[in-house]
């Protein structure tokens, strides 16, 4: 078991800063399935489309500019994570902790954020078109300036008015 975990970490660390998957999807999923903490993992710029990291502990992870389209991060701990410029299009982030997370310029089109915790999250420039915001904890979002909230689903009462008053935009045709 230890050898397998060591090899999985080797795959993740040797691919650091490189594009493509490089076996990281399998390595991350294997470690997470074995309940190994992924705190501080650096998968910036990685191609991780469709990765399944349900309940993963990704505290302080760097996933900036990573391609995580269609991934499943349900109930993941992404507190203090760097997700700026990442692509989470169609991803499941329901019930995830996104407390103090940088989601600056992140593509969240059609993603499921229902029940997620956005306390002190930076959503400036994020594309939230058609995202599911049902029951999100949003009252203390750090910034939503220039975020696109066109067509968001299930937005909690007062969210849209607050977002627009704080610099968000509604542009269904964007990007």
| Token pair for 125 | 């420039």
The class level of CATH for 37-175 reads mainly beta
How many CB atoms sit inside 10 A of residue 19's CB?
12
Please report the pLDDT score of residue 17 as a whole number: 79
DSSP character string of 65-112:
T-B-TT-B-TT-B-TT-B-TT-B-TT-B-TT-B-TT-B-TT-B-TT-B
Please report, in tens digits, the pLDDT of each residue of the chain (175 residues total): 889 999 999 999 998 878 778 899 999 999 999 999 999 999 999 999 999 999 999 999 999 999 999 999 999 999 999 999 999 999 999 999 999 999 999 999 999 999 999 999 999 999 999 999 999 999 999 999 999 999 999 999 999 999 999 999 999 886 5
Q: At 7, phi and psi to the nearest 5?
A: -65, -40
DSSP state for residue 156 in the 8-state scheme: P
Sign of the CA dihedral 174, 148, 135, 77?
positive
Domain locations along the chain: 37-175
Report the predicted TM-score, pTM, of the whole model to 2 decimal places. 0.95
């Amino acid at each position: 078991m230890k050898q397998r975990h060591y090899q999985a970490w080797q795959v993740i660390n040797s691919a650091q800063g490189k594009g493509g998957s490089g076996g990281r999807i399998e390595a991350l999923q294997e470690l997470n399935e074995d309940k190994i903490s992924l705190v501080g993992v650096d998968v910036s710029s990685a191609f991780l489309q469709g990765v399944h990291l349900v309940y993963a502990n990704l505290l302080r992870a760097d996933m900036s500019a990573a391609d995580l389209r269609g991934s499943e991060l349900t109930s993941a701990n992404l507190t203090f994570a760097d997700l700026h410029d990442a692509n989470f299009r169609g991803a499941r982030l329901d019930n995830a902790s996104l407390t103090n997370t940088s989601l600056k310029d992140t593509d969240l089109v059609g993603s499921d954020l229902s029940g997620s915790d956005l306390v002190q999250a930076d959503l400036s420039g994020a594309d939230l078109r058609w995202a599911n915001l049902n029951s999100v904890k949003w009252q203390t979002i750090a910034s939503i300036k220039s975020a696109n909230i066109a067509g968001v689903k299930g937005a909690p009462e007062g969210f849209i008015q607050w977002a627009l008053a704080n610099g968000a935009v509604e542009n269904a045709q964007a990007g």
